[in-house]
Amino acid sequence: MDFLNALVALLNFVVIPGASYGAQLAIGALGVTLIFGILRFSNFAWGDTMAFGTMIVILLTWWFQSLGISIAPLPTALLALPFGILATAALLLVTDRAVYRFYRKQKAKPIILVIVSAGVMFIMNGLVRLIIGAEEQSFADGGRFLISAGDFKTMTGLAEGLAIKGSTAITLVTALVTMAALFWFLQNTRTGKSMRAFSDNEDLALLSGINPDRVVQVTWVIAAILATIAGTLYGLDKSFRPFIYYQLLLPIFAAAVVGGLGSPLGAVAGGFIVAFSEVVLTYAWKKVVIYVVPEAWAPESLLQLLGTDYKFAVSFSILIMVLLFMPNGIFGKRG
């Protein structure tokens, strides 16, 4: 029984939160890695792109709620998601036309594009804060729990409860569908194949008649889909605040670098590696350990390796490890 309790506590506090956070990071990192693969720069505006998409979703959610439209028990935000994606795609395409294209035609150094993307970051950040403000917004509605801790306890008679939030289930399902669709698209469609070819060898791809403008446009649209989904899932699961979304840049970059910038498979793996490392290192293990060790050995301290404030330090340490020992990441080929 004690062992089961430990297992349930582990699932409840480590595995499930880690998986859901990992899925959010993975989708975010997929966007970063795609942009890197096709456009060849690290997009510092990414966190704020996510914030923009989420903001549109939130505004539409509020509007739908005021009209009384709902798809309960699913959150209304899912209904608003496609419109959020459309708005974000429009924003990204306009940004590309107005800002990035000029430097692409010039064949500017990647670092110039990084600085330009920092400028775009400012604008998007300012835009989001102007429209929705800098404060925290909560927009989750619909069923809160699939299984609540109390129900689980009465059902199984265990001392530990297992709660599955509705948002967790939605995160996992949506993430799975998104990733499957993206990989299918990259592997099997003509456009997807031309994107991979373009990412592998630009000159060769151009020689074989691939239209670079089209590839770039499709990339931005996919990026908009990924940014809005990742942002909305994160916001449903936790909450929305522009500054937090800017800070998400670090774990997302870490995930993309761990997997190897430019590698979609790597981005997914990286997302889960970063998320689980964060959760494992900042979780207070006392709750699990008390069930498996004899009472006399029960620890006094919380058995927490790092304070939760230091979750950025975890992403950063992983990033540093990868840069030190395998600068091309796990699945990367280019330096």
Partner 1 sequence: MKTLYLFGGVAFLYVLTGLLLSWNVSLSILVIGLLSSITALGVNMQWGYAGLFSTGIVGSVALGGLAVVFVSGQPVPEAFAAQGDGVFLLSAGWQIIASVVLALLIIAAAVRLWAAMAPGRRRNLAMTGLLVAGFFLYRAIFDPAVSAVEAYDPATHGNIGGLGLPSLLAWPVGALFAAAAAWAIGKICLGLREDYLAIATLGIAEIIITVMKSEDWMSRGVKNFVGLPRPWPLPYEVDLQQSAAFLDFCANWGFSPITASTILVKLIYCAVFALILGVLIWLLERAVHSPWGRMMRAIRDNEVSAAAMGKDVKRQHLIIFILGSAVVGMTGAMYVSMLGQLVPGEFSPLRFTFLIWIMVIVGGSGNNWGSVLGGLLVGWLWLVVDNAGPAFADLITRSMEDGALKTHLKDVAPQMRLLTLGVALLLVLRFAPKGLIPEK
* Binding residues vs partner 1 (CB under 8 A): 36, 41-42, 44, 99, 102, 109-112, 114-116, 118-127, 129-131, 133-134, 247, 249-250, 253-254, 257, 261, 301, 305, 307, 309-310, 312-313, 315-316, 319-320, 323-324, 327, 335
Say whether 305 sits in a helix, a strand or coil: coil
DSSP label at 34? H
CA distance 284 to 306: 9
Nearer to partner 1, 8 or 92 (CB): 92
Least distance (Å) between residue 115 CB and partner 1:
7
> Amino acid identity of 43?
N
Least distance (Å) between residue 203 CB and partner 1:
19
Nearer to partner 1, 293 or 305 (CB): 305
- Structural contact between residues 54 and 235, judged by C-beta atoms closer than 8 angstroms: yes
Least distance (Å) between residue 276 CB and partner 1:
17
CA distance 102 to 123: 18
CA distance 168 to 24: 10
Nearer to partner 1, 73 or 133 (CB): 133
> Amino acid identity of 207?
L
CA distance 269 to 23: 10
Least distance (Å) between residue 206 CB and partner 1:
23
HSE (CB half, 13 Å, CA atoms) of 252? 32
Nearer to partner 1, 7 or 250 (CB): 250
Nearer to partner 1, 9 or 274 (CB): 274
- Structural contact between residues 48 and 28, judged by C-beta atoms closer than 8 angstroms: no
Least distance (Å) between residue 73 CB and partner 1:
30
Least distance (Å) between residue 318 CB and partner 1:
10
Choose among 103, 121, 137: nearest CA to 44: 121
Nearer to partner 1, 5 or 49 (CB): 49
Least distance (Å) between residue 79 CB and partner 1:
24
CA distance 229 to 179: 11
Nearer to partner 1, 3 or 297 (CB): 297
- Alpha-carbon distances, residue 190 vs 33, 195, 215 (angstroms): 20, 9, 11
Task: Write down how long the chain is.
Answer: 335
